[in-house]
């Protein structure tokens, strides 16, 4: 596939429906995980223009920043800390409408107002999380959860 992304306007669901097959085509045949994570983060950033989008990978019992798009990020996050560490510890997607109200939120950027974190679970273990931050309150919802989980299911984390 050409590395051009067809960015569309429309509802959130229409945008994801357009983006999902493009991401599939973009990562098809590529076996290097970091390349795929980088392109997925770039595609999501280009389509939605979120403040920050990227991956944290589990390494030595910590989340370590991986490919991302946006301002500089926290490098390491402990299990159970912040939204990312909590998603990892609880094995579930977490949507935070207002990060100021999330106990223990880690403010990597003071511009972040809402967040979604989706864990990647392989062999009953979280191996990574996808983290997205927005400058807007109440930005993420179940539609984001559904499609981000679908996108993650297309990536080979082996």
pLDDT tens profile 100-122: 898 777 777 778 899 999 999 99
Structure pTM? 0.94
Domain assignment present for residue 7? The answer is no
Domain assignment present for residue 1? The answer is no
Task: Supply φ then ψ for residue 125, to 5 degrees.
Answer: -135, 145
What pLDDT is attached to residue 102?
A: 87
Query: Looking at the predicted structure, is the pLDDT value of residue 29 above 90?
Result: yes
Domain assignment present for residue 114? The answer is yes
Domain assignment present for residue 5? The answer is no
Residues 43-62: tens digit of each pLDDT? 999 999 999 999 999 999 99
Q: Which domain holds residue 119?
A: 12-153
Domain assignment present for residue 2? The answer is no
Residues 6+ apart with CB under 8 A from 128: 55, 56, 57, 58, 63, 66, 119, 120, 157
Dihedral (Cα; 87, 89, 90, 92), 10-degree rounding: 30
Task: Specify the number of domains making up the chain.
Answer: 1
Average pLDDT over residues 6-27: 95
């Amino acid at each position: 596939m050409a590395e051009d992304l067809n960015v569309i306007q429309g509802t959130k669901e229409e945008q994801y429906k357009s983006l999902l097959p493009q991401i599939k085509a973009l990562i098809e045949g590529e076996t290097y995980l970091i390349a795929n994570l980088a392109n997925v983060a770039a595609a999501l950033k280009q389509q939605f223009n979120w403040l920050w989008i990227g991956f944290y990978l589990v390494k030595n019992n910590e989340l370590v920043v991986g490919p991302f798009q946006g301002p500089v990020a926290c490098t390491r996050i402990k299990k159970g800390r912040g939204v990312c560490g909590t998603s990892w510890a609880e094995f579930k997607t977490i949507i935070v409408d207002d990060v100021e109200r999330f106990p223990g939120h880690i403010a990597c950027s003071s511009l972040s107002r809402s967040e979604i974190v989706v864990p990647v679970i392989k062999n009953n273990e979280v191996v990574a999380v996808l983290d997205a931050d927005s400058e807007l309150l109440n930005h993420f919802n179940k539609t984001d959860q559904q499609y981000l989980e679908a996108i993650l299911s297309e990536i080979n984390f082996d």
